[in-house]
Amino acid sequence: MSSKTPVVAVLFQAIDPPIINGVRKPRKPGGYQDSGADIAYSLQKRGIRVITPNPTPSPSIQEGWCFPDTENGIIDAVRQGATHLWANTILFSSHPLQVSGEIQKYAQGTIDVVGQPPSMVERFDDKALLNDRLRDLGRFTLPKSWILKESDDIASFIQSIEKDEEATYPIVGKPVRGRGSHGVKVCYGSQDLQSHISSLFKESPLVMLEQFLAGEEATITVMPPAPGKNGYTSFPPVERFNHDDGVAPYNGVVAVTRNSRVVSQEDMDQDSSYGIAMRECEQVVELIQAMAPIRIDIRRFKEGSRFALFDINMKPNMTGPGRPGREDQASLSALAAAAVGWDYPALLGEMLKTARPLEEFREFRPVF
């Protein structure tokens, strides 16, 4: 965590993620330039120097605020004086931030990064691998799940899991490496499930099936340790409601400010399951040694039951208000931060404090 005065360049996703174990994570249209522009604009308004590829980008347009996360794009930002690279993009082990010798030449111990280490993202973006490891540890609450390979006979596989008493319909089908609610569907019978699995196989050779959690859904953002402090800390849970056929809609379709609210302290005091879920989320993020915020989606098995952790997001959405026409674009993490007194620019300021040297970023190795 650096003490030097930051000069920030925000990166957006210009590189398609590679195929990892036969699976490619879907790319977001625009490559997160919307949230990247929100970040850069709000940091500027906070008095932090931000370098942009367009010297005078328009606040009403998302383009021109962020550098592409290509080798040339990153080197361009460093040449222009960036000391901090904000990796608002999807990372993986072969990403230029991890492997480029040219970037290393320019960095020479002077570059810090805001974001997760690429090796950690590649490893733990695999929902099946991470969930299975957490389940093996025996101290986390998770839904029942199954992995289906493209070589499996779909009908026979469905028949086999239907014999499991926890496999009662509905069952959720989703990609092993997903983005938001992309490809997530609640299926109410074997024919519906078989059809959805077939559609998912058009994008990926692996599909994850999961026990449907029927109760209240919420999400918890966990922050890494602040400078000079120990321990991972969670913001209050944000409840999700007004689902579309059992699934919280993608924020690009329905702004989260319209279907989400921070759980009140009174509600948390009356229901210990919120606190239990917060502690579990903090333990997960500490276990994987995150260097930036992580958002974990949770849901009750049924109304009144405990929460299960069902989706661990390596890169939470970080949109926020500030630019013209973006008043309702607070992300789930920004909503949660506001509950502890941090507006969107303050949240970004706290995230900037968690920046790590590029060398440390590159040397990170996942714990499992």
SS3 assignment for 38-51: HHHHHHHHCCCEEC
| Res 281 pLDDT > 80 | yes
pLDDT attached to residue 181: 78
| Res 212 pLDDT > 60 | yes
pLDDT attached to residue 130: 94
- The one-letter amino acid code at 244 reads D
* Residue 171, both tokens: 């069952």
Task: Tell me the C-alpha distance between 30 and 162, whole Å.
Answer: 40
| Res 93 pLDDT > 80 | yes
Count CA atoms within 13 Å of residue 98 on its CB side.
17
Confidence of residue 255 (pLDDT cuts 50, 70, 90): confident
Domain ranges of the chain: 7-115+358-363, 144-211, 214-340
Confidence of residue 328 (pLDDT cuts 50, 70, 90): very high
Average pLDDT, the chain: 94
Handedness of CA 168, 172, 175, 180 (dihedral sign): negative
- Where do runs of H (alpha helix) occur along 185-264? 190-200
Q: Exposed/middle/buried for 133, CB within 10 Å: 0-12, 13-18, 19+? A: middle
CATH number for the region 144-211 comes to 3.30.1490.20
214-340 shares the fold of 144-211: no
Question: 3-state class of 28 per DSSP?
Answer: coil
Task: Tell me the C-alpha distance between 26 and 177, whole Å.
Answer: 8
Confidence of residue 108 (pLDDT cuts 50, 70, 90): confident
81: Cβ–Cβ under 8 A, 6 or more apart, which residues? 7, 51
pLDDT attached to residue 250: 67
The percent of residues in the chain predicted with pLDDT above 70, rounded, is 98
Work out the average pLDDT over 338-353: 97
Cα 262 versus chain centre, distance: 18
Fold designation for 7-115+358-363: Rossmann fold (3.40.50)
| Res 1 pLDDT > 60 | no
Second CATH level (architecture) for the domain 214-340:
2-Layer Sandwich (3.30)
| Res 302 pLDDT > 60 | yes
Confidence of residue 3 (pLDDT cuts 50, 70, 90): low
Give the position of tokens 């321990």: 231
Confidence of residue 165 (pLDDT cuts 50, 70, 90): confident
pLDDT attached to residue 2: 52
| Res 86 pLDDT > 80 | yes
pLDDT attached to residue 243: 87
pLDDT, tens digit, for every residue of 49-83?
Answer: 999 999 999 999 999 999 999 999 999 999 999 99
pLDDT attached to residue 252: 66
Confidence of residue 200 (pLDDT cuts 50, 70, 90): very high
Work out the average pLDDT over 310-317: 94
Least confident piece of the model among 127-131, 169-173, 301-305, 349-353: 127-131
